[in-house]
Structure 1
Amino acid sequence: MSYYDGNEPGNIPGILPEASSDKGFYYWWTGGLLWGSMLDYRSQTGETKYDDLISQGLIWQVGENADYLPANFTSTLGNDDQTIWALSALDADESAFTAPPSDAPQWLTLAENVFNEQAGDGRRVDDGDCKGALRWMLYPFNNGYDYVNSGSNIGFFNLAAQLVYVTRNETYSDAASDTYDLLVDIGFITDKYQVYDGAHAEDCSSINKAQFSYTAAMLLQGSAYLYNHTDGDDKWKGRVDGLVDAILATFFPDGVAFEASCEKSNLCNTDMMFYKGILNRGLGATMQVAPYTAAKILPVLKTSAKAAVAQCTGGDSGRLCGFHWSTSENDGTSGAAQQLGVLSALVSILPQQAVAAAASNSSSGSGAGSSANGGSGSQNGTDSNTSDSNTPGSLGAKVSTSLGALVGALVLGSLFLA
């Protein structure tokens, strides 16, 4: 949070400061990721000291139409950017985070509004091999409007999957299933569960086969939610299993998170440095809603987290984290992306804490949406295996906030000493 200054006079709430490193700028979407990551931290630890900043940040950027499209950032807005913010609003709803003021759009409503806009034909390719797919950028004057990226479509898929988990409205399930099938048909998802970056709309057969961890992780996360929603349907279980294996093989060589398309060549830009955070969050969420996956995922996340922490020796404080984790030596880089990546690596391996005391002391999540596709907002569909003591989520509501914090401290202590 030391990188965030949006609460200071004259600065813009909700976003990271644009000034960054020689790698580029912090674009608008990274603010949405910041708040989603901090909500994860809050849910797993019970720490509520950042609640006002999280709430202010998520509300300030909702835009004029309650859809996370603020006019100030239209020149760089993509469908994937909008989805990151919508998913963070949904995180707030699912975790019973303090609701917005009663006269403001509620968390679930914000997520539904984004879904409804992206589900329409206006943002999609209308002919050719990519027909029906979301374009990357929103407007024809944006550079990238003619590109179809998997990130936008997978973000929409993940949003739909989480919305059906929350609302039980099958409209979302249908949209998610259709999107997955479309990505397979186009060739963005292979039969070996590789996830490719995208293609130009006018020649969708010429695919950019770069693989980024965040798209694979978000595809896995959405698939895990649908596995849960369908009570372990074989189709979704097969997809979850295939994606888990492919992700661990591609992005965790030697058991440590690695951004395969750019890290070895040292070509990762500022955006790409945030991907490890999304990777860890996606795997952590998968273990929550499909607990059987922890047998494969959790040992790798622990090994990776230990390596990540080992290189957090940079800066004047001797505690700043770099981007390269596999060397166990600090690479001299620093920034919000690097810190968020390691934070998410640590949070993803903590047992799930209900944080009942924190939730009961606040005006909890909205619990209802107002859009046409809205549902009850109640969270259902917990996997029957959540009592497995070897998986995150096993402690559930059995522990209080104070005990949860103690358990978390013990887990981290044992991790560092292992």
Structure 2
Amino acid sequence: MLSVARFHLLWLAPAVVLGALEVDLDSEDSIKAAAKEVAYDLMKYYHGNESGQIPGVLPGPPPAGDYYWWQGGALWGTMMDYWHYTGDETYNDVTFEAMQFQVGENKDYEPTNWTLSLGNDDQSFWGMSAMLGAEINFRDPPEGKPGWLYLAQAVWNTQAAPDRHDDTCGGGLRWQIFPGNNGYDYKNTIANGCFFNMGARLARYTHNDTYAQWAIKTWDWIMDMHYIDDKWNVYDGGHIPANCTDINKQQYSYNAAVLLLGAAYMYDYSNQSKEWEDRVNGLLDGMERVFFINGTLYEPSCEGGICKADMLSYKGYVHRWLAAATQVAPFCKDRVLKLLRSSAEAAVKQCTGGDNGRQCGFHWTTRVYDGQTGAGQQMDVLGALCSLLTANAKAPVTNSTGGTSVGDPNAGSRTTSLPENAEITTGDRAGAGILTAFILATTIGGAVWMGWD
């Protein structure tokens, strides 16, 4: 257990070799102290606040670094939760700057700089972090800057537009936004699950039933596609040329978790309907069976095989989203918190790596550091620790229970996600060859990753 004196020593002299991360899971103060150490180690991977760097993004994309644009949005959601659960404001300024810097030209988290690897799910991770900002009353932007609610509504509106929700496979969102991106012919659970999640949360926050009706429609489509089966296995998606019937039955923990959190919000919005309660319990049944081994979170899609950098961050989202679900659907609280505690205990045990002897790996079930460090692994353990602090944390607010974020129901709806083609001139053709050579050099790494659909 960390003493207060030792903790202050660590913060003032973080370069000292310290030994394993220590935490008493029965003490909120100890959990917060350990979370502060993990947060410090996590933020060492971020350089966007340094001279000459891009605010908001982690180093990348490959080959320039391990991380894609969407993981920046995931990082700031993690840091917002860190502040919400611990009260530590150390990283609030950099979080605020990052979330505002990446809003894009149309203030809808669709910046043109990242279109080569911009999927609906990528945009949604920034949108869900903005939604979290509204729900926990994170610092409101000044006048003239888009509020968190506005940004979440903008993302949702761009995705609800007809150019995103086409008739192929009977509806639903494609994985990718732009036709030139590999994966545009794939409709998957994470893209639609994020849209469902945001719709449920916007419905609860604004009391606007339009969002809820879209959430129900999206849930029904996912079920109709059999992306969720009768045993509550949650599969990844299907390809449009096969009418989305060639289901990829790979299971990823964040697919199930993003749906479970959305279902929990729908339970609260619907005045605790039995239907949504059953869906939360069903998804929890499936998650406990597939993703937890002896109470410890496990990612079957990559543990024992090859894990991409994005997969290495899924466990943190699972912990954070399951914890949030207990605040809006308290019937699952005892069951969920028991899982989160046992999983967090295993996670902390293996945080013995790095120069300071406390950085975290990914394979929690072994309780032994696996020699692999990264931003994803740190986000995972930070999410795990914060998930144990829900007891004294304020539940997500709404615009009638203390929410202060300014929104606009039409945000994002005045733009089109598909760029219109201007008339091609001779000058355009002359410059195309030069541009093509440059673009090819910068997209090879992204194309390889995008091929993993």
User: Which structure 2 residues correspond to residues 19-34 of structure 1 after superposition, within 5 A?
Assistant: 25-34=66-75
Q: 1:369 aligned to 2:407?
A: yes
What do the CA deviations read for 1:252-293 (whole angstroms, capped 9, x no partner)? Answer: 11110100122122x111111111111111111111111121
CA–CA separation in structure 2 for the residues paired with 1:302 and 1:354: 16
Aligned equivalents of 1:355 and 1:138: distance in 2? 35
Q: State the Cα distance separating 1:215 from its structure 2 match.
A: 0.7
Instruction: Report the Cα offset of residue 373 of structure 1.
Output: 8.1
Say whether 1:15 aligns with 2:50: no
Instruction: Give the counterpart letter for 2:75 in structure 1.
Output: L
2:118 is matched with 77
1:219 corresponds to 2:259 = yes
Distance 1:159 1:131 in 2: 21
Cα distance, 1:61–1:366 mapped onto 2, change above 3 Å: farther
* Aligned partners of 2:67 and 2:309 also within 8 Å: yes
Please give the per-residue CA displacement for 1:196-238, whole angstroms capped at 9, x wherever unaligned.
0001111111100000000100000000000011121011001
How far residue 327 of structure 1 moved from its aligned partner, in angstroms, is 0.3
Once residues 62 and 85 of structure 2 are traced to their aligned partners in structure 1, the CA distance between those partners, rounded to angstroms, is 29
Per-residue deviation, residues 304-326 of structure 1 (Å, max 9, x unmatched): 10110000000111011001000
- Contact in 1 for aligned 2:173/2:191 (Cα 8 Å): yes
- Which residue of 2 is the match for residue 283 of structure 1? 322
Q: How many Å separate the matches in 1 of 2:394 and 2:153?
A: 26
SS of corresponding position for 1:274: helix
Q: How many residues align?
A: 364
Match of 1:405 in 2: none
* Equivalent residue runs for 1:45-64 within 5 Å: 45-64=86-105
- Residues 200 and 212 of structure 2 are in contact (CA less than 8 Å); yes or no, is this contact kept in structure 1? yes
Does the alignment pair 1:245 with 2:281? no
- Asked if the contact 2:69/2:122 (under 8 Å) is kept, the reply is yes
Aligned position for 2:199: 160
8 Å CA contact 2:154–2:410 kept in 1: the answer is no
Structure 2 counterpart of 1:4, one-letter code: Y
User: Which residue is 1:407 aligned to?
Assistant: none
Task: Tell me, yes or no, if structure 1 residue 230 matches structure 2 residue 270.
Answer: yes
> 2:301 aligned to 242, 246, 261, which one?
261
Q: CA 1:21–1:269 in 2, change beyond 3 Å: closer, same or farther?
A: farther
| Residue 354 (structure 2) pairs with residue 315 (structure 1) | yes
Structure 2 partner of 1:113: 154
2:360 is the counterpart of 1:327: no
The Cα offsets for residues 51-105 of structure 1, whole Å up to 9 and x where unpaired, read as: 1101001000000000001111000000000000001011111111111121011
CA contact (8 A) 1:112 1:371 kept: yes
Q: In the TM superposition, what is the alpha-carbon distance from 1:21 to its structure 2 partner?
A: 9.6
The 8 Å contact of residues 251 and 258 in structure 1, kept in 2 or not, is answered as yes
Please state whether the residue corresponding to 1:148 is helix, strand or coil: strand
* Counterpart-to-counterpart distance in 1, 2:220 and 2:135: 27
Question: C-alpha distance in 2, partners of 1:253/1:233?
Answer: 31
Kept after mapping to 2: 8 A contact 1:125/1:201:
no
**Is 1:3 matched with 2:45?**
yes
* Higher relative contact order (Cα pairs below 8 Å, separated by 6+ residues): 2
**Is 2:202–2:211's contact at 8 Å kept on the other side of the alignment?**
yes
- Choose 1 or 2 for highest CA Rg: 2
Match of 1:190 among 207, 210, 229: 229
| One-letter identity of the residue aligned with 2:104 | G
Aligned to 1:379: none
Q: CA RMSD in A?
A: 2.0
2:39 is matched with none
Q: Secondary structure at the match of 1:348?
A: helix
Distance 1:21 1:69, change over 3 A: closer
In the TM superposition, residue 123 of structure 1 has moved relative to its aligned partner by 1.4
- Give yes or no for contact 1:226–1:236 (8 Å, CA) kept in 2: yes
Q: How far, CA to CA, are the matches of 1:124 and 1:19 in structure 2?
A: 28
- 2:119 maps to a residue whose letter is G
1:294 is displaced (CA, Å) by 1.6
Deviation at 1:191, TM superposition (A): 1.8
Q: Does the CA contact (< 8 Å) of 1:45 and 1:353 recur in 2? A: no
Question: Taking every aligned residue pair, what percent have the same amino acid on both sides?
Answer: 49
Helix, strand or coil at the partner of 1:64 = coil
1:148 and 2:190 aligned = no
Distance in 2 (CA, whole Å) between partners of 1:55 and 1:373 is 20
Conserved 8 A contact 1:45-1:355: no
Q: In 1, Cα distance between the equivalents of 2:87 and 2:268? A: 25
CA distance in 2, matches of 1:308, 1:111: 31
Q: Please report the TM-score for the alignment, with normalisation by the length of structure 1.
A: 0.84
Q: Deviations over 1:304-357 (max 9, x none)?
A: 10110000000111011001000010000000000000000110111344579x
Report if the CA contact (8 A) 1:37-1:344 is conserved.
yes
Shift of 1:133: 1.0
| Secondary structure, aligned partner of 1:124 | coil
CA contact (8 A) 1:64 1:70 kept: yes
